[in-house]
Amino acid sequence: MVAADRVAGLVAEHVKAMYADECVLYLVDYGQRVLLPLSGVDVPPREPLQIDATLGGRAFRDVALVDGEAPEGGRRLWLPLLDGTTRLGVMEVTVDRLDEEVGRRYRQFAGLVAEILVAKDLYGDHYKVVRRRAEMTLAAEMQWAMLPPLTFTTTHLSISGMLEPCYAIAGDTFDYAYDDDVARMAIIDAMGHGFDATVMAAVVVHAYRHGRRIGATLAENHRAMDEAFAAHFRDDQFATAQIAELDARTGRLRWLTAGHPPPLLVRDGRAIGALESPPALPIGMGDEVGEISEVQLEPGDAVLMHTDGVTEARGADGDFFGAERLADFVSRAAAAGLEPAETVRRLTHALLDHQGGDLQDDATILLVQWHGA
């Protein structure tokens, strides 16, 4: 068995049999701004790549093969490394020429390499360490360990999410599962910004998963989450939440809001408004079961769920990011035809830039798009 830190060297060795001169693997950092090279035997040294300013970054953004000229002659290919539709990073390969057959061969090879990276990541910490550009708090460590993959796609729908500040996230989290053509999703914001908030969020998300896995309805799951929280925390502690179900066969979305901002509906390239619903009290406050709301989506519709840290992010001049700026950003992303994962990546960066790179509150985004039956 090859250890995780040997994979880059092993891949560099094998591409020589495919008539390539060099091969370098890059992993995306937790903040999704930089691609970080993996070192190894026979792997040439490389500097990190800015995702928004390099050919390698373009391959990552567009999820497509990008062709460039190699300094020493020949072609330098950049290929996305994908686990399903989750972007792990990119692969750089230097070849003598590029034609349809060469492109096909290396796209297949990049897919195999991505599967190897995912498998090896289960048995060690090497890739997790490489992806870090700052020290991660214990709270953030726990939150990242609880997350599902950041991106999921089927023929019918796509789901993508992100947490910020990625190295110090505490009370925010999200979760989803897709079974029997139904996507079940939750976004959670536990009060506070420290370790206690992480523990509260962990109890809520696992109560949600438990209810989901025993077949609980949205209303039953809401009650179970509330009871689990109340059993373990003080009366003055709580968490806001939003839980939803999207039937991928019909586009019918059902959701329940417990003290959370309403989701935003995007249709025909623009945000058309918030999906208002009768509010329930936050999780842990012993409220009666909240009212379930429903809406019929049209093919191509997207729904953005988010915590209050998104709209309440405050700039140096005191200006909130706000619902209007959020709607404008999402509208422009939809009009540009960005995929959900890239929309979420750019939105989190816009949010961080608005607040000078230092969020005062956790901010979480979960975007689901229905492609049609």
pLDDT for 342 beyond 80: yes
User: Are 67 and 92 within one domain?
Assistant: yes
- Looking at 130, 153, 170, the residue that finishes a domain is 130
HSE-up of residue 250 (Cα within 13 Å, Cβ side):
11
Number of folded domains in the chain? 2
pLDDT at res. 62 = 96
Residues 286 and 257 in one domain: yes
DSSP state of 98: -
In eight-state DSSP terms, residue 191 is S
- Compute the chain's Rg from CA coordinates: 22
Express each pLDDT in 134-154 by its tens digit: 999 999 999 999 999 999 999
Q: What is the mean pLDDT of the chain?
A: 94
How sure is the predictor about 1, in pLDDT bands with cuts at 50, 70 and 90? confident
236 and 359 co-located in one domain: yes
Task: State the pLDDT at residue 321.
Answer: 92
Question: Same domain for 256 and 151?
Answer: yes
Longest Cα separation, the chain:
69
Whether 76 and 153 share a structural domain: no
pLDDT at 131: 97
Q: What pLDDT was estimated at residue 286?
A: 81
Which pLDDT tens digit goes with each residue over 258-277? 999 999 999 999 999 999 99
CA gap 120, 177 in Å, rounded:
23
For the segment 60-75, the average pLDDT, to the nearest whole number, is 92
CA distance 61 to 58: 5
Give the end of a domain, one of 74, 95, 130. Answer: 130
pLDDT in tens, 173-231: 999 999 999 999 999 999 988 899 999 999 999 999 999 999 999 999 999 999 999 99
Of 191, 142, 155, the residue nearest 171 (C-alpha): 191
Q: Which amino acid is at 3?
A: A
Task: Please give the pLDDT value at position 197.
Answer: 95
**Is the model's pLDDT at 19 over the cut of 90?**
no
Same domain, yes or no: 212 and 91 = no
Q: 314-317: long-range contacts at Cβ-Cβ below 8 A with a sequence spacing of 24 or more?
A: 314/355, 314/360, 315/354, 315/355, 315/356, 316/356
The pLDDT of residue 73 is above 90: no
Answer whether residue 88 shows pLDDT above 80: yes
Are 315 and 357 contained in the same domain?
A: yes
Whether residues 118 and 184 share a domain: the answer is no
Instruction: DSSP for 34-71, please give it.
Output: EEEEPP-TTPPP---EETTTSHHHHHHHHTS-EEEE-T
CATH number of domain containing 100: 3.30.450.40
- 147-174 burial: b if 16+ Cβ within 10 Å, else e: bbebbbbeebbbbbbbbbbbbbbbbbbb
Answer yes or no: do 35 and 175 share one domain. Answer: no
Q: For residue 283, what is the domain's CATH number?
A: 3.60.40.10
Distances (CA, A) of 295 to 101, 170, 238, 244: 46, 32, 28, 11
Which of 130, 150, 172 terminates a domain? The answer is 130
Is the pLDDT assigned to residue 256 strictly greater than 80?
Answer: yes
pLDDT of residue 290: 77
**pLDDT exceeds 80 at position 106:** yes
Q: What is the pTM of this model?
A: 0.94
Examine the domain organization and report whether 170 and 113 are in the same domain.
no
Same domain, residue pair 157 and 65: no
Tell me, yes or no, whether 144 and 72 share the same domain: no
CA-to-CA distance for 18 and 93, rounded, in angstroms?
10
Beta bridge partners of 226: none
Output the six-digit token pair for 99: 């034609």
Domain carrying residue 117: 4-130
